[in-house]
């Protein structure tokens, strides 16, 4: 079983749609959680951290359920520029800043 699992997609949605991505992680010792965005073969960029209380950044909402070891990302009012691969990322902590990435979910927003 992979440490971080995501639905690979692709998700093809029209502009303005709401889309949700889910992710599960296997290590209950995981301490911090993130969503990264990656455009085609470019570097991953931090989209947002994910907190147990849930957090929102504009059109993006992230949720964490530690009991179920489940993370989600909701994108409202999708824009063409949201087209990218979304990577679910966890850090189990310790001395090294070792991030474990999921394989990513590909999103295409259609005009």
Interface residues with another protein (CB under 8 A)? 4, 8, 41-46, 49, 87, 89, 94-104
The gap from C-alpha 63 to its chain's centroid, in whole angstroms, comes to 10
List the one residue out of 110, 106, 109 whose CA is nearest residue 21: 106
Where does residue 109 rank: exposed (0-12), middle (13-18), buried (19+ CB within 10 A)?
buried
User: Which of residues 58 and 94 has its CB atom nearest to another protein in the complex?
Assistant: 94
CB of 2 to another protein, least distance (A): 9
Q: Angle at the Cα of 38 (from 25 to 87), degrees rounded to 5?
A: 10
CB of 14 to another protein, least distance (A): 25
Residue 43 tokens, joined: 């570097």
User: Which of residues 16 and 70 has its CB atom nearest to another protein in the complex?
Assistant: 70
User: Which of residues 15 and 45 has its CB atom nearest to another protein in the complex?
Assistant: 45
User: Which of residues 14 and 43 has its CB atom nearest to another protein in the complex?
Assistant: 43
CB of 13 to another protein, least distance (A): 21
């Amino acid at each position: 079983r992979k440490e971080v699992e995501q639905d690979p997609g692709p998700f093809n949605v029209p502009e303005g749609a709401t889309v949700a991505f889910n992710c599960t992680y296997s290590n209950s010792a995981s301490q911090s959680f993130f969503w990264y965005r990656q455009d085609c073969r470019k570097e991953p960029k931090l989209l947002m951290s994910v907190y147990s209380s849930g957090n929102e950044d504009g059109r993006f909402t992230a949720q964490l359920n530690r009991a179920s070891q489940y993370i989600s990302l909701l994108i409202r009012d999708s824009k063409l520029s949201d087209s990218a691969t979304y990577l679910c990322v966890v850090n189990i902590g310790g001395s090294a800043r070792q991030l474990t990435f999921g394989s990513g979910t590909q999103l295409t927003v259609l005009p």
